[in-house]
Amino acid sequence: MKKIAIIGGGAAGYFTAANLGKELGKQTVLFEQSTTPLQKVRVSGGGRCNVTHACFDPKELVEFYPRGKKELLSVFHKFQPGDTMEWFESRNVPLKIEDDNRIFPVSDSSLSIIECLLKETEKNQAEIHLGETVQKIEKKDDTFLIYTKSNSYEFEKIIFTPGSSVKSMEILKNLGHTIVKPVPSLFTFNIRNERLESLMGISFEWAEVSIPQLKLEAEGPLLITHWGLSGPAVLRLSAWGALDLADLNYDFEIRINFIRKEMEDCIKFLNEFKLENAKKSVYKINPFSFPKRFWQRILEVSKTPPDLTFSHLNKNQIQKISEELTQGIYQVKGKSTFKEEFVTAGGVDLKEINFKTMESKIVPNLFLAGEILNIDAITGGFNFQACWSEAFLISQVLRDSH
């Protein structure tokens, strides 16, 4: 009988295996249902792998987690993004901090991260079972019985890191855990509206997007897509509102401010611009930094005649344009997955986990990490950081108790 089973070959599973050391590694079996491990690491950041985020103060770091903020504070005090950087760089994977504070391998390839994790796990001599799905776990006295389609195994301890599959949550439910129903987080908004039609690809460096009904708001870059709106502002809003938006069946209104001005300031700005550009065509001259096509669309929906010069813009037209730019209301009808980076809110109730060790309070010797927990973050490397930190903590707890 081997000592430890790791169930799930994603970021948390492999990082645990990579940190167990040889003595425990030799007594460990990692089960992954896919024949290709670390799939989310592979596609993260468009294939570049957004490893973590340059936020090195645990108190600041937890603010990026809509769920898990309180619980992760002690975990990040033990292992935070600076430690993640040091871990990979000391294993010959140089990392870089980009302008938006996201951290990537210098190679710009997720394969650098994957190869490092596989190599470190191999060094520890852990046994890897790819393409073997765990279907059932039973507690038998002081051990666990694990059943796959073809075999059954016995282990002393289990590290459960399978992601957020419904099957995995059922397994934990049968062991006595409470599951908070999983719902999507980090998604884009589906909007059919004449103001956005055929403007796919237009982006705004800054926008404020709010959901008045929920008193939620977020700001950041915004992107018009085939199906509606995306970009960091929308993704942040989707993360913070994940549970409430699921309750609304993804049918709700958003208000958008496309410019860094309040409505009164926008009116004042346009009146001043009007004086300086009196004889110029309203449709040909765009007073803002976003693309001209969007300015022309706003003019169209504001019913501004195409032959106007700025001097002929009246008070009502300026009011309507300013309203569209600073308080535009859009109806969201549905959501779309953000690239391949599917994240869920929901999972194991955090009250049932001891965050000093990541051990279950319900089932002794069962440790949990990653997306199976009711923890999630906004986009930017934060979800991976939670995995690295939780996994590192588990590996250290097991090494210390060995």
User: Can you give the pLDDT at residue 218?
Assistant: 95
Q: Between 141 and 156, where is the model more confident?
A: 156
Compute the distance between CA of residue 357 and CA of residue 50 in angstroms, rounded to an integer. 26
Residue of 64, 61, 100, 115 whose CA lies nearest to 83: 61
- pTM metric for this prediction: 0.88
Strands (E), 212-312: 216-224, 228-230, 251-257
Average pLDDT score, the chain: 95
Compute the distance between CA of residue 391 and CA of residue 41 in angstroms, rounded to an integer. 15
Give the CATH number of domain 4-184+344-401. Answer: 3.50.50.60
List pLDDT tens digits, range 336-394.
876 555 688 999 999 999 999 999 999 999 999 999 999 999 989 999 999 999 999 99
Bridge partners of 119, per DSSP, are none
Spatial contact of 250 and 242, defined as CB atoms under 8 Å apart:
no
> How many percent of the chain have pLDDT more than 90?
93
DSSP 8-class letter at 51:
-
pLDDT band of residue 2 (cuts 50, 70, 90) is: confident
- Same fold: 4-184+344-401 with 187-337: no
Q: Read off the tokens for 207.
A: 């926008």
Please check the confidence at residue 92 and state whether its pLDDT lies above 90: yes
Any idea of the CA torsion for 230, 234, 235, 239, to the nearest 10 degrees? Answer: -150
Q: Read off the tokens for 377.
A: 């973050």
Give the CATH number of domain 187-337. Answer: 2.40.30.10
What are the domain boundaries of the chain?
4-184+344-401, 187-337
List pLDDT tens digits, range 318-328.
999 999 999 99
Residue count of the chain, please give it.
402
List pLDDT tens digits, range 21-36.
999 999 999 999 999 9
List pLDDT tens digits, range 143-192.
999 999 989 999 999 999 999 888 999 999 999 999 999 999 989 999 99
User: Can you give the pLDDT at residue 339?
Assistant: 57
